[in-house]
Amino acid sequence: MKKIHKIIVTGLLSIVCTMGYTQQDAQYTQYMYNTISVNPAYAGSRGVMSIMGLHRSQWVGLEGAPRSQTLTLNTPIGNNERVGLGLSIVNDEIGPTDETYFDIDFSYTIPTSETGRLSFGLKAGAHLLNINLQELSQFNQNDALFETNIDNKFSPQVGIGVYYHTNRFYFGLSAPNLLETNHFDESTTVSGSDAVSFLAEERINYYFIAGHVFDIGSDLKFKPAVLSKVVFGAPLQVDVSANFLMYERLTLGVAYRWSAAVTGQLGFQISDSMMIGFAYDRETTELGRSQFNDGSYEVMLRFELFKKYNRMLTPRFF
C-alpha cells in the first residue's frame, strides 16, 4: 500500500512541477485560538502574555499528508497596553516539502469605547523552503526535474492586519504575506522532449475572522465564529463553528468547512492560566471516504502569564 501512496504523491507533485501551483497557508480548525498566526493586529489583545502551541496532522493514514506545528507568543507592552508584540514559528510538511516561517508581529491599539479596541498590525518575517525530491518514487530515474533538491531557500515576508474587539465581539481582516514570491522557476528538457517549466509561487492569502459570545444561562455561553480565506487561483475556504462554554471550564463545539469537512471540538480550561484543546476533522469529499484517510487531528495548548492587576476573571473565547 505504501507504494500506491508514493505513486499518488509522485503524480500530484509531477503535476505541480510541470504546470505550476499556488501555495496556500496552513489551515487550522481551532483558528479562534490561533489568530496571531494570520493577523498581526491580534498581538497583545488578550492583555496578558499568551503562549500557544498547536499540532495538526491532516488526512492521517495517507503517506505524505500535511502536518503543521505552530508556536506563538504575544504580549502587550507597557501599562496602557496600546503596543503589542508577537512571535510566530510555523512548520508545514507535505510529502517531500518542508516549510518554516519565522514572524515578528507589532500592533498598535486605539480605544474606541469603554470596551472597544481597534488594533492595527504589521508582520515581518522569513520563509525557508526545503524540497527533498529524492524521497519520491520516480517513473523515470533520469528525470532532470528531480535531480536537484531545494535546501533552505529564503524569502522575506511582510504582512498587515486590522483587528477590532470588545468583551463580546471581534472581527479581523488581514494578509499575513503581501509578497508573491517565486521560489524557483526553471526550464529543463525531459527525455528529449520540449522544455518543461515548473514553478512554486506564493500567493497572497486574505483572511476575514469574526465571532460573538452570547449568554444562554448563568453557566452556559455560546459563541459562533467564522473564518474565511481567499487566495486567487484557489477555491474559497469558509469555516463556520459553534462552541459552547460550560461552567467557565468545558468547551464543546462543532464546525463545518464549506464543501470540505465536518469537525468536533473539545476544550478544557485546566486553570486560570492553562487551556488545552482538541479537534477532529472528517472530510466530506471523496478523500474522506478513502480507506487510507482516518481524518485530521489537532491538539492545542495555551499558557498565559498574569500580573496581579490584570488577572483574567472569565476565560475568553478569543
Lowest mean pLDDT among 14-23, 27-36, 80-89: 14-23
pLDDT band at 8 (very low <50, low <70, confident <90, very high): very low
Q: Is the pTM here over 0.85, yes or no?
A: no
Per the listing, cell 487510507 goes with 292
From CA 109, how far away is CA 119, in angstroms rounded? 4
Q: According to the model, what pLDDT value does residue 4 have?
A: 39
Q: Cα 46 to chain center, whole Å?
A: 19
Q: Give strand ranges (E) for the chain.
A: 21-23, 49-57, 67-77, 83-94, 97-111, 117-131, 150-165, 169-175, 182-189, 195-202, 206-212, 214-217, 220-230, 237-246, 250-257, 261-269, 274-283, 296-305
Q: According to the model, what pLDDT value does residue 172 have?
A: 97
Q: Which of 237, 239, 236 is nearest to 227 (CA)?
A: 239
From CA 27, how far away is CA 261, in angstroms rounded? 12
Q: Which of 185, 166, 134 is nearest to 21 (CA)?
A: 185
Lowest mean pLDDT among 140-154, 204-218, 234-248, 257-271: 140-154
Tell me: pLDDT of 311 over 60.
Answer: no
Q: According to the model, what pLDDT value does residue 17 have?
A: 39
Q: Walk me through the domains of the chain, giving residue ranges and CATH numbers.
A: 38-136+150-178+202-305 (2.40.160.40)
CA distances from 254 to 15, 32, 237 (A): 35, 13, 17
Cell numbers at residue 152, please? 533552505
Contact 43, 121 (CB under 8 A): yes
pLDDT in tens, 190-240: 444 444 444 556 789 999 999 999 999 989 999 999 999 999 878 889 999
